[in-house]
Amino acid sequence: MTDNDNFETNTGWVDLYTDGACKGNPGAGGWGVLMRFGQHENRSAAAPPTPPTTAWN
């Protein structure tokens, strides 16, 4: 998946916008996603305090 992917469904397209980062290795990190389907929009994000080095693999 890239930072901007489109997935076709039976009724249209779902646009996904993603981003994430970590400070240090291991260290605090987080991610976010914006999902759009027509006029609908949903956002999700998480920031575990100290994920292990392999958490993002």
Q: What is the pLDDT of residue 6?
A: 61
Angle made by CA atoms 10, 37, 31, in degrees to the nearest 5: 120
Q: Residue 47 in contact with residue 29, Cβ under 8 Å? A: yes
Whole-structure pTM value: 0.61
pLDDT digits (tens, 9 = 90+) for 10-56: 667 888 999 998 887 767 788 899 999 888 899 999 887 765 556 55
Query: Considering Cα of 37, then 29, then 54, then 52, what sign does the dihedral take?
Result: negative
Domain ranges of the chain: 4-47
Is the pLDDT higher at 25 or at 9?
25
Name the pLDDT band for 1 (thresholds 50, 70, 90).
Answer: very low
Q: Residue 20 in contact with residue 27, Cβ under 8 Å? A: no
pLDDT at 3 over 60: no
